[in-house]
Each structure stands twice: as structure tokens, then as C-alpha cells.
Structure 1
Amino acid sequence: MRSSHTTLATLMICSVFSFFAVKVSAKNNTDSLSVNNKEKELKVMTYNIHHGNPPAKEGVIDLQAIADVINSQSPDLVALQELDVLTSRSGNVDEVKKLAELTGMHSFFSKSIDFGGGGYGVAILSKFKINKEERFTLPFKEGLNAEPRSLAVINVTLTNGKKLDFASTHLDLKDEHRMLQVAEINKILGNRKGAAILAGDLNLTATTPAMKILEQYFERSCQENCAPTIPDVDPTEEIDFIMLKKGSPLKVQSHQVLNDIHASDHLPLVVTYKY
């Protein structure tokens, strides 16, 4: 028969092990909680790719050069402008599909015009699975010559489980059209619930009247002393922007224009957000 002293000793040893097991479990739970609460990053790029034609190489289509620029930054979301899909100008290649293959990302194309036997417009690349795709035709002023423009919007789920709308566009050169187009973008995205990012070649500057309309709902990633994005050699103007819808729970961590990049006539803009 086991003595009472032996039983008591066994109970004490079990209690000690139980105490340390609880401590270890509590520590692991705390560590897990701290990891879950750690701020995450979202890297976004916008890039007008000039249909994959480097300015110094007339007639040449070099999508690998565009993909190399994108891959060098490893962005989560990319807004692209001036893409050819199955056009004679670019060798009947689906540039959106090809760039998706070269970057290993999901893609969505929004055709703006019929061109060269195919389509020409804007696109989005995404590391995240795309929940929803939307294409919107942007308005223009009646009686004034215009090239049709469109807005591409996708919805994705971020790593914290929250959803985000991400949009790519390329606005018109004429202010009369741009004023209508930014008002339409505000109407489409401004009143939606949830976070949203608008990116693209807006063909305007920070002081253009149309920008003031956009800023009713969106905030530029850079507010002062912002680097120009065009042309690729000795750039002089900032016309490519990444803008966060006001009230979105993201904060700008960095804003960078990539210099000495000559795969297109525009320089790529990369913004990293924390959330």
C-alpha cells in the first residue's frame, strides 16, 4: 500500500507541472496575440507602362522589363495603365495575361477602347485572390472630342480579414472631361462602406481643379515636395497618384518614385501603407 507521504509528494509534483504548463500556455497565447496585433504592411504600385514599349526603343515591346520593375518591388497591388490586349501594335499579345504570368499575380483588365483588332485600357494585378471585379465607363463632355476612359475596381481581402476596394484609372487630357470623370469616381467609390485606394495616371497635378474634387473623398500619399513621375528621363511633372479614401484604416508609411527606370515613359510610384 502506498504511503500518504508518497501520495502527497506525487500531488505536489503534479501541481508544479500544472503551474508551469499554465504559464507556458499563457505565454504562447500572449505571443500569438502580439503577432496577431502586429501592424501589417500593404505595398501598392501604380505604373503607366506605355503598352510595354520602352521610349528609347521604337516599336519594341518588352513586357519582361515591366515585370522586372514590378517584381523588384514585390507589391501586393498594382494599378496599370496603357495596356494592349491582342492588338496588332503589340504583336497580338494579351499584355495583362502575360504580366500576370511573369509576376505570379491575379489580374483584371478594363477595356477603354477598341484598338488595333483588340482592346486598350487599364488593368490591376493582385497578390490577393480577387473577390469581385467591376468596370465603369467614365463620362466625357458632349460635343468635345474625347478618348473613352474607364475605371477598373477589384475587391480583395487583406491579411487581417478586412476587405478593400482597389481601383485603377487613366483620366483624360482635357480638364472639361477630367472634372466629370473625378466626380463620377467620387460617386462610385466615395460613398461605399469600407476602405478604398484609387491609383493611376490622372493626367493632372496636385493643384489642378479636378484634384480638389477628388480630395473631397481621397487623400494623396504625398502632400508636399513630391517627386515627379514623367518623363522617365529628367522628370518634371507629378501626374501619377495613389490616393486613399478618407476614413480608411490605413496609414502611409512610405511614398517613393522609382528613378532611372526606362521601361516606360512614366516612372513607377510605390506607396506602402500600415494597417
Structure 2
Amino acid sequence: MRKSLLTFALLCCFAAVFGQRVRVVSYNIHHGNPPAQAGKIDLEAIAKVIIDSKADLVGLQEVDVRIPRSGGIDQAHQLAQLTGMYYFFSKGIDYDGGEYGTLILSRYPIVGNRRYELPMPESSEGRSLAIVDVALPHGRTISFANTHLDLNETNKVAQAGYINELGDWYDRPLILVGDMNAKPQSKAIQLLDTCFARNVELNGPTYPNQAPDSEIDYIMVGKHSNVVWRTYKTLSSDASDHFPLFAEIEFK
């Protein structure tokens, strides 16, 4: 009897660690400005999307930190408070006396973080890649990356190649999310496809939020990770000019 209980406990432990499901959101929040309401900043609406999704990991793009157009507040800190999550902000550029960039929110402790400036062969707006290491329940650690690629095609392709180089370093599971400013058939996405896997069966347009016609926001997983896509969909919201993108991923 004791041996049977021990075996059962070990199997439960194995299932918990190696069958971990993670809920992920990628969302370009347009600095909290609903496109139908010029000048309004509504971070509570953004936070509600995140809370309602029950996301474990969130990558946000177009986040203001102490910029006058959004009231001079630290949106990264405020969104972390509104959602009750850990956070890591990654600056893209200095803007109007503040900083503008991307934000990672995590339900679980962030045990490591890194910021990389993305290559810019042609003069344009600075972009970055943020990566955090997150300690999941039962002791497993995964990495989560968030970015916002440039509109310039040359820069976008160079940035995708650089992200691939970084992705090759990882043995642990690596999730990549972001506004890639690129459609699935573009050179930048095809390049990322060589290093990252994405769901290609249930995808739909993510931009603009009114009459959407472009898929430019993505959730991807490093190809070395053994995963199953349990859910992949856009979420309904008028809080930004992009739709939030949601996925539930199971690490086998």
C-alpha cells in the first residue's frame, strides 16, 4: 500500500511539472488610449482584459512611462498594481521627457531579466527585446520574451534574425510574443518560423480593432520546446487599436 501511494505521488509530481499549462496574452495597448476616444487614457480597461483572461504571462507593447500625453504616470508600475502581477519594463526610446517601450507582466516570480537593443541598419525608432525567466509552480523555470518590431522592412528582417540568434541559446522553454508589424507571409515572420513554432490553424486578424484585416501580433514558442496549443484566439476589446491575442500552451 505504501509503495502504491509513493508511486501515485511521483506520477502526480511528474504530471504537474511536465504537463504545465501557461496562459499567455500579447497586446499592443496604444499607451492606454482607446482609438474611439481621442486623448482618453483608460488603463483600467487594459487591466480588465488581462484579469479576465486569467493570463499567467503578458507581453504589452506601446507602454508610456512618465510621458505627458498619458498624464505623466508610470504605466508599467500602474498596470502591475492593477493586475497584481510582477513586471519588467523595457525601454524602446526616450520620448517627451519619459520612456516608451514594452512591458512584461507575470503572475509568477520573475527570477531573471534581460533587455536587448534590436539592430537598426536604417535610421528609425529604437526597438528592444525583453526576456524574463519565470519560476512556475512545482519548480520549473521558463523564459518569456516580448518585442515590438520596426515598421521599416530592412530593420524588421534584421531584428527577426537577431531574435533567432538569441533564441538558439535557450535549452529551457522560450515563449516569444509581440507586435511584429508583419503579416504571416512576410520575410520577417518566415525567418522567425525557422527558430520558433506558431499556431497556424486558428489564427485571425489582430489589427485594427475595427474591421480587422491584418495578422501582425503573434505568440510563438521556441522549436526546441515540446508544446501543445490548447487555445489560440483574439479577445474582444475596444481598449486599443489592436485586439489582445490569447493562447493557452501546454508544455509536455
The aligned counterpart of 2:67 is 87
Q: Secondary structure at the match of 1:264?
A: coil
Rounded to whole Å, the distance in 1 between the matches of 2:186 and 2:42 is 33
2:222 matches 1:242: no
Aligned residues with identical type, % of pairs: 42
Q: Of the candidates 220, 224, 229, which is equivalent to residue 206 of structure 2?
A: 229
The alpha-carbon deviation at position 27 of structure 1 amounts to: 4.6
Once the two structures are superposed, residues 16-55 of structure 1 have per-residue CA deviations (whole angstroms, 9 ceiling, x without a partner) of xxxxxxx2x3454344234323333111110000000011
Q: TM-score, normalised by structure 2?
A: 0.94
What amino acid maps onto 1:123 in structure 2?
L
Q: Secondary structure at the match of 2:35?
A: coil
Rounded to whole Å, the distance in 2 between the matches of 1:67 and 1:244 is 25
The aligned counterpart of 1:154 is 132
2:112 matches 1:132: yes
What amino acid maps onto 1:177 in structure 2?
N
Q: Secondary structure at the match of 1:35?
A: helix
The aligned counterpart of 2:49 is 69
What amino acid maps onto 1:212 in structure 2?
Q
Rounded to whole Å, the distance in 1 between the matches of 2:233 and 2:81 is 25
2:197 matches 1:219: yes
Once the two structures are superposed, residues 130-184 of structure 1 have per-residue CA deviations (whole angstroms, 9 ceiling, x without a partner) of 111111100112xx33111001110112224232111000001111110110111
Once the two structures are superposed, residues 92-135 of structure 1 have per-residue CA deviations (whole angstroms, 9 ceiling, x without a partner) of 11001000001010000000101121100011000111111111
How many corresponding residue pairs?
248
> Structure 1: any 5+ residue segments left out of the alignment?
1-22
Contact 2:202-2:232 at 8 Å conserved across structures: no
Contact 2:171-2:224 at 8 Å conserved across structures: no
Contact 2:178-2:218 at 8 Å conserved across structures: yes
Q: Of the candidates 32, 40, 60, which is equivalent to residue 52 of structure 1?
A: 32
What amino acid maps onto 1:232 in structure 2?
N
> Structure 2: any 5+ residue segments left out of the alignment?
none
The aligned counterpart of 2:246 is 270
Contact 2:76-2:87 at 8 Å conserved across structures: yes
Q: How do 1:16-31 and structure 2 match up within 5 A?
A: 23=1, 25-31=2-8
The runs of at least 4 aligned residues of structure 1 exceeding 6 Å deviation read: none
What amino acid maps onto 2:214 in structure 1?
E
Contact 2:202-2:233 at 8 Å conserved across structures: no
Q: Of the candidates 161, 172, 175, which is equivalent to residue 153 of structure 2?
A: 175
1:225–1:101 CA distance, 2 compared to 1 (3 A)? closer
The aligned counterpart of 1:102 is 82
What amino acid maps onto 2:87 in structure 1?
S
Rounded to whole Å, the distance in 1 between the matches of 2:149 and 2:51 is 26
Q: Secondary structure at the match of 1:233?
A: coil
Rounded to whole Å, the distance in 2 between the matches of 1:125 and 1:28 is 38
What amino acid maps onto 1:237 in structure 2?
S
The aligned counterpart of 1:195 is 173
Rounded to whole Å, the distance in 1 between the matches of 2:20 and 2:59 is 21
Deviates more, 1:241-250 or 1:67-76: 241-250
Q: TM-score, normalised by structure 1?
A: 0.87
2:235 matches 1:258: yes
Q: Of the candidates 9, 12, 22, which is equivalent to residue 35 of structure 1?
A: 12
Deviates more, 1:183-192 or 1:25-34: 25-34
Larger Rg: 1
Rounded to whole Å, the distance in 2 between the matches of 1:116 and 1:103 is 27
The alpha-carbon deviation at position 210 of structure 1 amounts to: 1.1
Once the two structures are superposed, residues 226-256 of structure 1 have per-residue CA deviations (whole angstroms, 9 ceiling, x without a partner) of 2110111121111000010011133211101
